[in-house]
């Protein structure tokens, strides 16, 4: 009887623990932190793989490889600190919504400023890696290199200016065109670097098309040795850098669009949450994929048989010494295998034009 009367009592049917607004806020926090956690886990796995690859190749053998190792390690540490700060940030806000009074604003302010600083460091490092890959493909202080230098310098300056403006205006957010001061230079820098790499890929392909077969050797009769129409390992690396670069540019285009009132607030929050991790994951994935591409080259033609002159053997050796600058001579100084490393690990002095 008493159980039935308790059930029929409207006042005892449901007890509200948190308000609807707080429940919606908590739901958003869970989704965002789960997304960040998944991307962080992906970054950890990829970063450890890339660091292992660099360690296996030997850090002391190449100063550029060592610098790349430090950059990737810093980005991993940066992502770790960022995910920890993010968890603390949401925890503090949830605790502030409790009935018991809790002044969470001082700690929240510090945490939110940290969430502004660490992603911007990743943005700069990620752009520096992109510029580096394009930089080593050109001669010293050529027009492309000067352009890349200007773009990277502008990116560094505008990124930290944006950081200072956001910290000074906190807790208010920036409004108007000034919000483009950071993402627009980042997009331009990536677009310029990717375009220059695309130009080199086209230049390299044009060279292969013009030299699709060796001149006939008297000792070989009318037989020729073909470079092969299929994509080489070097070309695969260059196209990989171009394709991934365009994808990364599209990500920054979406980030810029998110600054305008064309997305719901939840979409802007998710974009802000995933962008720092995408910036760290992108160069890490490229390093791993490029390393996969760097396998020994295989030629369709068979090795020279007995009776083939030394000149034909020299021609065979020159097949792996392709330069793709217009008018350049084929020399053994620049090999296809070396060009496979040009995007990340080589100094400019090793690239002959």
Task: Give CA–CA dist 184/256, Å, rounded.
Answer: 7
Q: Which of 302, 310, 317, 300 is nearest to 219 (CA)?
A: 310
Q: Does an H or E element contain 341, and which?
A: none
Phi and psi, residue 279, nearest 5°: -65, -35
Domains by residue range for the chain, with CATH: 18-215+228-294+329-350 (1.20.1070)
- The answer to whether the CB of 42 falls within 8 A of the CB of 281 is yes
**Tokens representing residue 93 in the block:** 């806000």
Per-residue pLDDT of the chain (353 residues), as tens digits, is 444 544 555 554 555 567 777 777 788 888 889 999 999 999 999 999 999 998 988 888 888 888 889 999 999 999 999 999 989 988 888 777 666 667 778 888 888 898 899 999 999 998 998 898 899 888 888 899 999 999 999 999 999 999 999 999 887 888 878 889 999 999 999 999 999 999 998 988 888 888 765 444 444 444 444 444 445 677 778 888 898 899 999 999 999 988 887 877 777 778 888 899 998 898 888 888 777 764 333 333 333 344 443 444 333 333 333 333 333 433 333 333 334 344 334 433 343 34
Q: What is the per-residue DSSP string for 36-99?
A: HHHHHHHHHHHHHHHHHHHHHH-STT-HHHHHHHHHHHHHHHHHHHHHHHHHHHHHHHHHHTSS
CB burial string 24-52: b at 16+ within 10 A, e below = ebeeebeebbeebeebbeebeebbeebbe
In the chain, DSSP finds a helix count (H) and a strand count (E) of: 10, 0
- The answer to whether the CB of 96 falls within 8 A of the CB of 121 is no
Alpha-helical (H) ranges within 170-227 are: 183-210
User: What pTM does this model have?
Assistant: 0.73
Q: Is 302 helix (H, G, I), strand (E, B) or coil?
A: coil
């Amino acid at each position: 009887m008493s159980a039935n009367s308790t059930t029929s009592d409207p006042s005892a049917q449901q007890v509200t623990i948190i308000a609807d607004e707080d429940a919606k806020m908590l739901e958003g926090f869970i989704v965002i932190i789960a997304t960040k956690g998944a991307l962080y886990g992906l970054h950890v796995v990829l970063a450890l793989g890339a660091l292992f690859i660099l360690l296996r190749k030997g850090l002391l053998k190449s100063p550029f490889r060592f610098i790349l190792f430090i950059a990737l390690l810093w980005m991993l540490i940066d992502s770790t600190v960022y995910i920890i700060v993010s968890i603390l940030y949401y925890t503090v806000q949830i605790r502030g919504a409790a009935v018991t009074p809790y002044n969470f604003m001082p700690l929240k302010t510090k945490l939110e400023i940290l969430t502004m600083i660490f992603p911007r460091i990743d943005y700069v490092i990620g752009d520096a890696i992109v510029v580096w890959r394009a930089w080593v493909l050109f001669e010293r202080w050529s027009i492309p290199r000067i352009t890349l230098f200007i773009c990277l310098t502008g990116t560094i300056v505008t990124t930290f200016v944006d950081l200072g403006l956001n910290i000074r205006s906190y807790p208010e957010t920036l409004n108007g065109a000034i919000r483009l001061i950071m993402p627009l230079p980042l997009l331009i820098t990536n677009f310029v670097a990717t375009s220059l790499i695309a130009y080199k890929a086209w230049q390299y392909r044009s060279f292969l098309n013009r030299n699709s077969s060796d001149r006939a050797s008297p000792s070989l009769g009318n037989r020729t040795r073909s470079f092969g129409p299929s994509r080489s390992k070097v070309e695969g690396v260059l196209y990989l850098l171009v394709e991934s670069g365009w994808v990364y540019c599209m990500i920054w285009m979406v980030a810029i669009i998110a600054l305008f009132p064309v997305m719901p607030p939840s979409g802007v929050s998710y974009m802000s949450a995933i962008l720092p991790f995408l910036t760290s994951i992108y160069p890490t994935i490229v390093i791993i994929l490029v390393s996969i591409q760097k396998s020994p080259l295989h030629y369709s033609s068979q090795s020279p048989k007995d009776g083939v002159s030394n000149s034909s053997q020299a021609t065979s050796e020159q097949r792996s010494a392709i330069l793709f600058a217009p008018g350049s001579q084929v020399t053994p100084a620049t090999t296809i295998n070396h060009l496979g490393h040009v995007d990340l690990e080589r100094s400019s002095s090793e690239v002959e034009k």
